[in-house]
């Protein structure tokens, strides 16, 4: 059995994007998101699309994988498109009309604009997880959250929880797949009947999944105790991440560039 690669899972190749500090990448993503929301024309979107394309290219992540997350958005995209494009008793020039409902050019334009924005947002942010190992990510998060520690926020513990969650995603996905196959072999059907029936069909998968997860949690807690885990304080790191000049430059230049693009276009 092969593991289905989870969406947004780290792609281990060497690239300038991969070696960038996680915090720099997070900053750039924040600027990208801000710029994307400030941009109010298709020209702006085109520039952001070009930026994503260039980064995908430089990161050496196969485009097929980089945009896989977009497919998962299918339903949301269709909904966004329709929510803007459909009009009640429209007055302007109609493209399609069905009784009181119709689609007009203006609505369609807005719908497409918002859909494209979601696609770009998804593609841009997934580049972060595609080029950063989960541990770099959580270490980065911890360091970004550090000011919160002064306010009594358990930042080290939050980062550890995230690490463990990320660590067990593939294991749990494998386990779920195994259970679905095993219960199918006992005649379970997951694709028949009403919505309620389908949800109920997953009980024989979810119950053992959780029973096994609790068992795992217990073992893991023992293992962490045995290896002297006692919270974030006093811990050192194998990879102590340091922001280099390159990281700072990328963060500042890309950050400013993206936000300005958003404001101007």
Partner 1 sequence: MPLLAEGLSYTYETGRASGVVAVRDVSVGVDVGDLVVIAGTTGSGKSTLLRLLAGLLVPTAGSVTVDGVAPGARETRGAVSIVFQNPETQFFAETLRADVAFGPRNLGRPEPEADADRALAAVNLDPSVYGPRSPFGLSGGEARRGAIAGALAMGARYLLLDEPTAGLDADGRRAVRAALRAERARSGVVVVTHDPAEFLDGASQVIALAEGEVAFSGTADALYDDPSAYEGAGLALPVVVRVQLLARRRGLPLARVTVDPGLAARSLLAARGESL
Partner 2 sequence: MRGPSSLQGRTHVVVFENVGFRYPGARTAALEGVSVSVRPAELVALLGPNGSGKSTLVRLSNALLSPTSGRVTVDGMDTADEDAVWDIRERVGFIQQNPENQIVGTIAEEDVAFGPENLGVAPAEIRVRVDEALEAVGLAGFQRREPHMLSEGQKQRLAIAGALAMRPAYLVADEPTAMLDPVGRADVLRALRGLRHQGVGVLHVTHHLEDVLDADRVLVLASGAIAFDGTPGELVGDPERALGLGIELPAEVLLADALRRGGVRVPAGHPSAEEIAEALCLS
Alpha carbon of 36 to those of 184, 238, 250: distances in Å? 45, 36, 18
Is 230 a binding residue for partner 2 by CB under 8 A? The answer is yes
Q: Residue 224 Cβ, how far from partner 1 at the closest point, in Å?
A: 23
Is 12 a binding residue for partner 2 by CB under 8 A? The answer is yes
Measure the CA–CA gap between 135 and 123, rounded to whole angstroms.
21
Which of 31-39, 145-153, 217-225, 244-252 is the region at the interface with partner 2 (rule: CB under 8 A)? 217-225
Alpha carbon of 191 to those of 135, 188, 197, 199, 200: distances in Å? 37, 9, 9, 10, 11
Alpha carbon of 169 to those of 8, 73, 138: distances in Å? 12, 20, 15
Tokens coding 122? 């998804």
Among partner 2, partner 1, none, what does residue 235 contact (CB within 5–8 Å per kind)? partner 2
CA 255 and chain centroid, separation: 20
Is 174 a binding residue for partner 2 by CB under 8 A? The answer is yes
CB within 8 Å of 29: residues ≥ 6 apart: 124, 125, 127, 128
Per the CB < 8 A criterion, the answer to whether 36 and 206 are in contact is no
Which residue in the set 14, 98, 186, 237 belongs to the binding site for partner 2 (CB under 8 A)? 237
Cβ-based nearer residue to partner 1, 182 or 256: 182
Among partner 2, partner 1, none, what does residue 225 contact (CB within 5–8 Å per kind)? partner 2
Q: Residue 12 Cβ, how far from partner 2 at the closest point, in Å?
A: 7
Binding positions for partner 1, rule: CB under 8 A: 2, 178-179, 181-189, 203-208, 211-212
Binding positions for partner 2, rule: CB under 8 A: 3, 12, 133-135, 163-164, 166-167, 170-171, 174, 215-216, 219-220, 222-230, 234-240
């Amino acid at each position: 059995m092969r593991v289905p690669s989870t969406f947004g899972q780290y792609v281990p190749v060497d690239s300038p994007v991969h070696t960038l500090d996680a915090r720099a990448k997070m900053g750039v993503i924040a600027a990208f998101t801000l710029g994307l929301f400030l941009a109010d024309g298709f020209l702006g979107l085109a520039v952001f699309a070009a930026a994503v394309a260039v980064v995908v290219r430089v990161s050496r992540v196969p485009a097929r994988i980089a945009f896989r997350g977009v497919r998962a958005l299918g339903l949301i995209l269709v909904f966004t498109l329709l929510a803007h494009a459909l009009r009640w008793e429209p007055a302007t020039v109609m493209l399609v009309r069905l009784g009181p409902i119709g689609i007009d050019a203006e609505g369609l334009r807005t719908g497409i604009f918002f859909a494209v924005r979601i696609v770009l947002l998804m593609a841009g942010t997934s580049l972060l997880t595609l080029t950063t190992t989960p541990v770099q990510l959580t270490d980065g998060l911890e360091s970004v959250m550090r000011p919160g520690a002064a306010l009594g926020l358990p930042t080290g513990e939050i980062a550890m929880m995230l690490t463990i969650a990320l660590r067990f995603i593939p294991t749990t996905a494998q386990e779920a797949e195994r259970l679905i196959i095993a219960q199918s072999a006992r005649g379970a059907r997951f694709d028949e009947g009403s919505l309620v029936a389908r949800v109920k069909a997953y009980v024989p998968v979810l119950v053992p999944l959780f029973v096994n997860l609790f068992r795992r949690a217990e073992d893991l807690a023992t293992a962490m105790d045995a290896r002297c885990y006692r919270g974030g304080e006093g811990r050192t790191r194998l990879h102590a991440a340091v922001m280099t000049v390159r990281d700072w430059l990328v963060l500042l230049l890309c950050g400013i560039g993206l936000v300005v693009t958003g404001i101007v276009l």
